[in-house]
Amino acid sequence: MKLIYWVFALSFAINQFLYAESDKPLNFLFIVSDDLTASSLGSYGNEVCQTPNLDRLAAEGVQFDRAYCQYPVCGASRASFMSGLYPETTGFLGNIKTLGSYRVVNPEFANHPSIGGFLRGNGYVSARVSKIYHMGVPGGIEAGEPGGDEPDSWDRAYDVWAPETSSPGVFTELSPKHRHWGSSFVRIVVPDDQSETQADELATSHAIAIMENRALHRNKTNFLKPGKPFFLAVGLVRPHVPLIAPQKHFDLYDPTAMNMPEYPEDDLLDVPEANRKKANARSYKMTEGQQKEALAAYYASVTYMDEQVGRLLNTLDRLDLAKNTVVIFISDHGWLLGEHGCWQKSNLFEPTCQVPLIIRAPGFESSAGKQTKGLAELIDLYPTIAELAGLEERAPSILEGQSLVSLLDRPDASEWQKKSAYTVMGSKKAVHRTIKTDQYRYSRYDNGDEELYDHRKDPEEFTNQAMNSDYSEIKEQLAGLIPID
């Protein structure tokens, strides 16, 4: 009789524990990299750049192979995904450094909460570490500024104050004819034992301290929202220029062994003027050797950033938080690394619009390691987080994205309804727009210029089919998908 009693008691206790764990609100660790192209990650097919920690995250979560930003520049993209609204809706186009972000640009949204503000208003502790909204890199980071932040997003915010261009180490200008610090190619090799003051190491260490605080002291009476779940947004500024990393990361990449992208000599002749401003021949004028050094330095910076992601993931494991924490990793937009002879952002080619997106969420373990071809936009993150938090019915009705939770459950995308992703570039006076579908990318510029690429036949976008009469009907259909005109 006693044996039956103890078996029943043990079974009851286990069920109570499991129920308590599953009934806990989920935490969110939201990691935002800066200027990271998806093609630089191992899980996205890169065989040279070493990203073991992000590869691990992809193996444990769902990787979105066709996710796209809404604007290929930091400020507008970040304001868009944090508000869940397209840049043209808020009017936030470009990089705007004013504190208050999209609310200052368009007072109509003064009461519209960001992702952080929404969760904060629903019982979460919301915290920011380093760059989530626009922040000058370099410049703002060196001054320890908050940048174009949304203060109502956070219960607490930590602004990194780091040396950036004044970092110790070997400083090399790789694009000496382009001297704008926020876009010129500068390589800084930091001694291995002097990297602890770098922006991303500082940000990661502070984020780790926050997670330790929440995990180990959650029920203290003087605690901020005792026992409540957290939304922790961590901004990692690498691989944004300057390309900074410790010596050990640079040692992984021999510039002379870098293989640069191949493209036709006349590749840009059929490309509209607005989409070729980042050509090396006109903007950077790097020699072939300098371009190889820039690519190697970019990879070193990516690996350094990846190392910080590993520190965050290891902390979740150490504190036993992983089983109850959603991890979302993105970049604010993509980048060009010599494709079409072009570099960096601010254009509408595929590598600039595409972003890495990896989500690891409790309850979707059966999808671990899978990739989805379902089209996704960064504005989809807001409704996704709301649904994962069980708050979808409270989410603002004006959100323009679509929850990705069904793709976490069924990555094969067989029932996914989104048929296009939308990205814009330019200003209120001259907006350039592009639509990505399963097979095509169609771009229309403010002056009427057009681009059309058939990705099944031409995945690298070498041939603009906009003037090809064989594509007239397709072009008309794609133009009809542009949501705002």
pLDDT at 309: 99
Distances, alpha carbon 55 to alpha carbons 58, 111, 391, in Å? 5, 39, 30
What span, in angstroms and rounded, lies between the C-alpha atoms of 48 and 50? Answer: 6
Token couple for 196: 């602890």
Distances, alpha carbon 457 to alpha carbons 242, 391, 418, 466, 467, in Å? 36, 42, 22, 15, 16
What span, in angstroms and rounded, lies between the C-alpha atoms of 126 and 154? Answer: 5
What is the secondary structure of 401-418 as a DSSP string?
S---HHHHH-TT-TT---
What is the secondary structure of 154-219 as a DSSP string?
-SEEE-----GGG-SSEEEES-TT---TTTS-EEEEE-GGG-TTSHHHHHHHHHHHHHHHHHHSTT
pLDDT at 201: 98
What span, in angstroms and rounded, lies between the C-alpha atoms of 380 and 383? Answer: 6
What span, in angstroms and rounded, lies between the C-alpha atoms of 202 and 146? Answer: 15
Token couple for 336: 């060009």
Distances, alpha carbon 280 to alpha carbons 31, 340, 343, 463, in Å? 31, 9, 7, 20
Tens-of-pLDDT digits for all 485 residues of the chain? 444 434 434 443 443 343 344 468 999 999 999 999 999 999 999 999 999 999 999 999 999 999 999 999 999 999 999 999 999 999 999 888 778 888 888 999 999 999 999 999 999 999 999 999 999 898 899 999 999 999 999 999 999 999 999 999 999 999 988 878 778 999 999 999 999 999 999 999 999 999 999 998 877 777 899 999 999 999 999 999 999 999 999 999 999 999 999 999 999 999 999 999 999 999 999 999 999 999 999 999 999 999 999 999 999 999 999 999 999 999 999 999 999 999 999 999 999 999 999 999 999 999 999 999 999 999 999 999 999 999 999 999 999 999 999 999 999 988 899 999 999 999 888 999 999 999 999 999 999 999 999 999 999 999 999 999 999 999 999 999 997 65
pLDDT at 154: 98
List the domains of the chain with CATH numbers: 26-411 (3.40.720.10)
What span, in angstroms and rounded, lies between the C-alpha atoms of 346 and 352? Answer: 8
Distances, alpha carbon 235 to alpha carbons 10, 40, 129, in Å? 44, 18, 6
